Each structure stands twice: as C-alpha cells, then as structure tokens.
Homo-oligomer: A and B are copies of this chain.
Amino acid sequence: MTAAQRREQEKVTYDAFLRECPSRQLLDRLSDKWVALVLAALAEGGSMRYSELARRLAGVSQKMLTQTLRALERDGLVTRTVTPTVPVTVEYDLTPLGASLHAVVRHLKGWAEAHMDDVRTAREEYDARSA
C-alpha cells in the first residue's frame, strides 16, 4: 500500500508540475478550438466587431466566441474596446503579444502544410495494414 500511495503522490506532484509548466498552459490555450481561428481572423482582418467575428467563424456558438474572447482578453492577447454608441459597438484587436503568438501559430501552420500529406499517406498505409 505504501508503494501505491507513493505513486499517487508522484502523480499529484507531476500534475502540479504540469499546471505550472508554461508550455502546457500555452498548449491548453491553443487547443481551445477557436483560439487559433480568432487569432488568424484578427491578424488578417485587423480590428473586428463581435458580429464580424461571429460571421467570419461560421459555426461558432456565441457562447464559445465570447468565452474565447474573454480568455484572450484576460491573457492580454486581445483588446476589447467598447464605444458607447446606441446600440453599443465593441471592437476586438490583437495586442503586440497576441500578434507575436499568432506568428508562432503560423509556424505550426507552415509545418502542417508542409507535412500533413506525409501524415495522410502514413495513415492510409497504417489503416490498410490493419485492415
């Protein structure tokens, strides 16, 4: 039992370590389905309004869009500017930090476009072999 308990403790410690790990946190952010899309939309289109984003990312629920934007704003990656017209106008834009993150994401995109064909053929071979 003592061995099992030690294992348990190690897992907890490792989990804590992972929560602290900056890379892990970044990965968790990016894995949010819409983060990369929002980043790309804002990087390409400049500052955009809520409804523009909603239209651009067809398929996103407003709940997810809001949630994503709040998270990005909280992380200092986008700015949210409210103009008190009637009705209200809200503009979203990338911060320099957000723009730099987008640059990194574009590296990912680059790898994807360069190598995903290899991955695809690997998959087909694998599936054919196991069939």
Binding site for B on A (CB under 8 A): 7, 10-11, 13-15, 18, 22-27, 30-31, 36, 57-59, 73-77, 97, 100-101, 104, 107-109, 111-113, 115-116, 118-119, 121-123, 125-127
Contact = CB atoms under 8 A, between A and B. Distances in A.
A117 to B, nearest CB: 8
A110 B117 CA distance: 26
Given A31-B30, A104-B111, A123-B74, A36 B58 contact: no
B36 A112 contact: no
Contact of A26 (B18, B57, B111): B111
A27 B36 contact: yes
- Most B CB within 10 A of own CB, among A7, A25, A27, A118: A27
Given A75-B119, A111-B104, A115-B101, A23 B36 contact: yes
